[in-house]
Amino acid sequence: MSGARGRRARQGPARLASIFALLLSLGCHELGNPVTRETPATPYPSAAPHSTVTHVTYAHSREAVAWRRPPAHALDQALPSARYIARIDVEHAPVAVSRVRLATTVAFADGTTRTVEWIAPGAESPWSLDLALAAPPVRAMTRVAVH
């Protein structure tokens, strides 16, 4: 009987390693540590000098619970399924106005786009917006109109 116990004791670490490898292959290494993805930085206009550079950080809504801010929960109630939460950050040249109107166009892998108009304080840097999306973004571009 003691031989069987010793063999089982030696198999314990091997079993744990197998279970851990299985969990890693299933993507469970991301549990408790939300995975975020980024799109390439997109300048506007494309030729220098650029007035804005737009960065999008996003995560699947299941993964994003830990980092999304409360305003993102209420955005885009009309979407049938808000599957992704995106943080749009817009770098910009200094402006000497109290607020600016921005139009951010988000592009998706299937070729569709979505434009969101929003207002931000002129002195804030960078301008940021939390947005719920139905699909993962490929890139985003932002145009600015100074009030």
Q: Is the pLDDT of residue 122 over 70?
A: yes
pLDDT band at 115 (very low <50, low <70, confident <90, very high): very high
Pairwise CA distance, residues 67 & 85, whole Å: 10
Which backbone phi and psi does 143 adopt, to 5 degrees?
-105, 145
Residue 66: what pLDDT?
46
Q: Is the pLDDT of residue 70 over 50?
A: no
pTM above 0.85, yes or no: no
Task: Write down the residue that tokens 């770098």 correspond to.
Answer: 91
Higher pLDDT, 80 or 126: 126
Domain ranges of the chain: 1-31, 34-146
Task: Choose among 141, 140, 133, 114: nearest CA to 60.
Answer: 133
Pairwise CA distance, residues 87 & 57, whole Å: 5
pLDDT averaged over every residue in the chain: 74
Residue 106: what pLDDT?
92
